[in-house]
Chains A and B, each alone.
Chain A
Amino acid sequence: MLATAVNAAAHFKTATSISRQIYVDPGLYEAERRAVFERTWLFVAHLSEIPNEGDYITTTLADRPVIVIRTGSASVEILLNTCTHRGMQVATEARGNARSFTCPYHNWTFERSGALRSRPDEEAYGGDFDKSCLSLRRVPRVEIFCELVFASFLESIEPFPAYLGDAAPWIEKCYWREGGYEVRGYHRYRMHTNWKLIQENLADGYHVRALHRTAARGPWVKGFLAGRQHGFRNGHCMLTWKAPVQERLLERDSPISADQLQVMTMCVFPNLQISTTNNRPTVRRIIPHGVEYADMVGYALVPRSMPKKEGDALARQYGEFYGPAGGNNVDDVEAFELSFAGMRIPEVGWSDASRGVHAGSEDVQDETAVHAFYDAWVQLMSGVQA
C-alpha cells in the first residue's frame, strides 16, 4: 500500500481534482505519519500551559506519548514518554510539575533532562553499563514562536520563522498581541473524519454562507466576502478579511481592541489552526487518530493584558463560537463527518476543488489556497520510501 503513497502526485489528476483515496486509505495513514508528521513542525503546546520550570503536560505527537516540559525560562524539552527499561510511560498525569520522573513499574528515575538518575538495586547490574544510553529519548527539535511550541522529529528541518515563510507576518499582525496569551481551558472532541478534511475547512470560504445559516445572517458577511485567501510555501494557507468592530457576529461580543480589525483563519501545516475571528483568538491542534478519526484540542486563549473581568467573560463565552457546541462549529463537524462518509464511496474517485483556479483568483470564496496545502502534502509524500 505504501507504493500508492510514493506516487502521491497521482492523487492529483489535474491541479484541481483531489483523489478521495487520500482521506480513506489506511495504508496512507502510516505513510503520512512517516512522510508528513515525522518531517514537519508539529504544534504541540502553548507556552502558558507550562509557565514555570518543571511544569509539564503529557500528550501525543505523531502517535507517540510525549512529555512536554519547561526546562528554563525560554526552553522546552519534549521527552518520549516511555521508560527505557520496559516501556511503561513514566509520566502518567495529564499535567504537573516534576523535578524527576519515576517509572511506576520498576522505579527507574529520570531527570527532567531525560537522563537516568537512579534505579533500584544498581549493584545488581554489571559495572560496565553505560547509563547515558538509558536516558529518556528526546524529540530532537523544539522551537517557540509567538508562545506556540513546535516540535520536529526531523533533525535537519528548516528553523522558525523560515518554516512559516510569508505566513509569519500574518500571524504577527492578526494573532499576536503584546504580552501574549494565557490558555484558560480546552475544548476536546473527537470527530469521525480524516484530519485533512478539517484543515481544508480553514481555507474554505466557499462553505461559509451555505453551511453556517445562523452566522450567514449576520452583518459581518459583507466584510467576509470582500476578503482574500492565500496559500504559502510549506502548505500553510489562510483566509483573511476585515471585521469592523461594529459588525460583530454575536451581539454580546465586546471587542478586545479597536485596532484588531484584520482577522484570519490559518492552517499552519500540518496540524495547527490559528483563528482570530469573532474577537476570540484561538489556536487548535489536530491529532490524527488513524485514518478515520481525528481529535481536536481547542485552546481558549485570553490576552494577558486583558482586565480580569473581561478575561473571565471571554473564557466563559468561548464555547459560544468554538468547541463542540459552538454556533458554527457544530455544522463544521457535521460537514467533516458526512464528507468523510462520502469519500468512502469507491465509485466516485475524485473531488473537485477548482473554483476560481482558472483565474488564479484570491477571492475569499475561491478554492485556490487549499492547493498550497496539497502541494506540500504531495511533495512530502513523494519523498517517503516504500
Chain B
Amino acid sequence: MIREQFRQEDVVRDASQLLFRQARLLDERRYGDWLESFTQQAIYSLVTQENLEFAGQDRAPVFVIHDDRKALENRVRMIERDWWAARPPGRAVHVVTNIEVLDAGAGEYVLASCFCVHYWRRDEYSMLAGRANDRLVPTDTGLRTSARSLVLAADAMMGHLPFLL
C-alpha cells in the first residue's frame, strides 16, 4: 500500500518534471531540445473544443495542428527559419498546471493537465488556454512524449500561431 503510494508520487513527479521542462524549453525557444523530448512516432495536436464537439465520437475533428514527427520538425524549421511571422520571435510563457496521472499502466503514463500560454510579440498580446492530454513512455534516457493532445477552450484565436504550445 505504502509502496504503491510512493510509486504514484514518483510518477507524478517525473511526469510533471517533463511537462515543466518542455514548457521551459519552449519559453527559451530551444525547439531542438524540445523535439528531443518526443518519441520518433509522436503525434502533436491542437484542436478547439468547438471542433471536437462538432465532430462527435465517430469522426475525426478538424484540427488547428495535427503533426506527426516529420511535420513537427517541419513546423520547427518554419518557426526557426522560414516564417516572417516568427521574426522577431515572440516571447512566450508556457504555464502548466492541474497535472493528474490518469493512468500509469504498462509502459505508458497518461496525464491530464491545463495549459495557459501567454504570448507577446511586437505590440500584441494573446493568451491561449485549455486542457492537455499527454502520453509519456519511459525510454533509456528518461520519459518522452509519444502523444500531446491540446484542446483549446476558445473557439477563436487572435491572429496566427507562429509558435508551439
Q: Which residue of B lies closest to A308 (CB)?
A: B59
Cβ of B7 within 8 Å of any chain A Cβ, yes or no, is no
A245 to chain B, nearest CB (A): 21
B151-163 Cβ-contact flags toward A at 8 Å (1 or 0): 0000111111110
A301 to chain B, nearest CB (A): 10
B63 lies within 8 A of A316 (CB): yes
B60 to chain A, nearest CB (A): 4
Cβ of B73 within 8 Å of any chain A Cβ, yes or no, is no
A246 to chain B, nearest CB (A): 20
Which parts of B79-130 form the interface with A (CB within 8 Å)?
Answer: 82-85, 124
B157 lies within 8 A of A186 (CB): no
Query: Which of B16-24, B28-36, B64-72, B134-142 is near enough to bind chain A?
Result: B64-72
A331–B71 Cα distance when bound, in Å, is: 17
A318 lies within 8 A of B62 (CB): yes
Cβ of A191 within 8 Å of any chain B Cβ, yes or no, is yes
Task: List, in ascending order, chain A residues with CB within 8 A of B77's CB.
Answer: 214
Task: List, in ascending order, chain B residues with CB within 8 A of A327's CB.
Answer: 78
A126–B85 Cα distance when bound, in Å, is: 63
Which parts of A334-359 form the interface with B (CB within 8 Å)?
Answer: 334-335, 337
Answer whether A295 and B156 are a contact pair too, CB < 8 Å, given A313-B60, A324-B64, A325-B65: yes
A312 lies within 8 A of B59 (CB): yes
A185–B77 Cα distance when bound, in Å, is: 27
A214 lies within 8 A of B62 (CB): no
B98 to chain A, nearest CB (A): 24
Give the residue of A187, A323, A330 whose beta carbon is less than 8 angstroms from that of B162. Answer: A330
A187 lies within 8 A of B78 (CB): no
A184 lies within 8 A of B62 (CB): yes
The main secondary structure of chain B at its interface with chain A is mixed
Cβ of A34 within 8 Å of any chain B Cβ, yes or no, is no
B67 to chain A, nearest CB (A): 8
Answer whether A188 and B160 are a contact pair too, CB < 8 Å, given A315-B59, A323-B64: no
Q: Which residue of B lies closest to A188 (CB)?
A: B156
Give the residue of B60, B62, B157, B161 whose beta carbon is less than 8 angstroms from that of A330. Answer: B161
Q: Which of B48, B54, B157, B159 has the most CB of A within 10 A?
A: B159
Task: List, in ascending order, chain A residues with CB within 8 A of B161's CB.
Answer: 324-325, 330
The main secondary structure of chain A at its interface with chain B is helix
B147 to chain A, nearest CB (A): 14
A239–B161 Cα distance when bound, in Å, is: 26
B159 lies within 8 A of A190 (CB): yes
Give the residue of B59, B74, B82, B157 whose beta carbon is less than 8 angstroms from that of A188. Answer: B157
B156 lies within 8 A of A184 (CB): no
Q: Which residue of A lies closest to B78 (CB)?
A: A214
Task: List, in ascending order, chain A residues with CB within 8 A of B15's CB.
Answer: none
A333 lies within 8 A of B159 (CB): yes
Task: List, in ascending order, chain B residues with CB within 8 A of A99's CB.
Answer: none
Task: List, in ascending order, chain B residues with CB within 8 A of A334's CB.
Answer: 83-85, 160, 162
Task: List, in ascending order, chain B residues with CB within 8 A of A184's CB.
Answer: 54-55, 59-62
A213–B162 Cα distance when bound, in Å, is: 14
Task: List, in ascending order, chain B residues with CB within 8 A of A335's CB.
Answer: 84
Task: List, in ascending order, chain A residues with CB within 8 A of B156's CB.
Answer: 188-190, 295
A198 to chain B, nearest CB (A): 12
A213–B82 Cα distance when bound, in Å, is: 6
A317–B60 Cα distance when bound, in Å, is: 10
Answer whether A315 and B60 are a contact pair too, CB < 8 Å, given A185-B54, A330-B85: yes
A323–B156 Cα distance when bound, in Å, is: 10
Cβ of B39 within 8 Å of any chain A Cβ, yes or no, is no
Cβ of B149 within 8 Å of any chain A Cβ, yes or no, is no
Task: List, in ascending order, chain B residues with CB within 8 A of A187's CB.
Answer: 62, 64
Cβ of B46 within 8 Å of any chain A Cβ, yes or no, is yes
A327–B86 Cα distance when bound, in Å, is: 12
A299–B32 Cα distance when bound, in Å, is: 33
Answer whether A324 and B54 are a contact pair too, CB < 8 Å, given A186-B62, A192-B124, A331-B83: no
Q: Which of A185, A252, A311, A337 has the most CB of B within 10 A?
A: A185
Task: List, in ascending order, chain B residues with CB within 8 A of A190's CB.
Answer: 156-159
A333–B86 Cα distance when bound, in Å, is: 12
B64 lies within 8 A of A319 (CB): yes
Q: A184-B55, A188-B48, A192-B158 are in contact. List 15 more A-B contacts (CB 8 A).
A: A185-B51, A187-B62, A188-B156, A312-B59, A315-B59, A315-B60, A317-B63, A317-B66, A319-B66, A320-B66, A323-B64, A325-B64, A325-B65, A331-B85, A334-B160
A-B contact pairs, 13 of them (CB 8 A): A184-B60, A185-B50, A185-B61, A185-B62, A189-B158, A252-B71, A313-B60, A315-B62, A320-B66, A325-B75, A330-B161, A331-B83, A333-B160
6 nearest A-B residue pairs (beta carbon): A185-B62, A188-B156, A312-B60, A334-B85, A325-B161, A185-B51
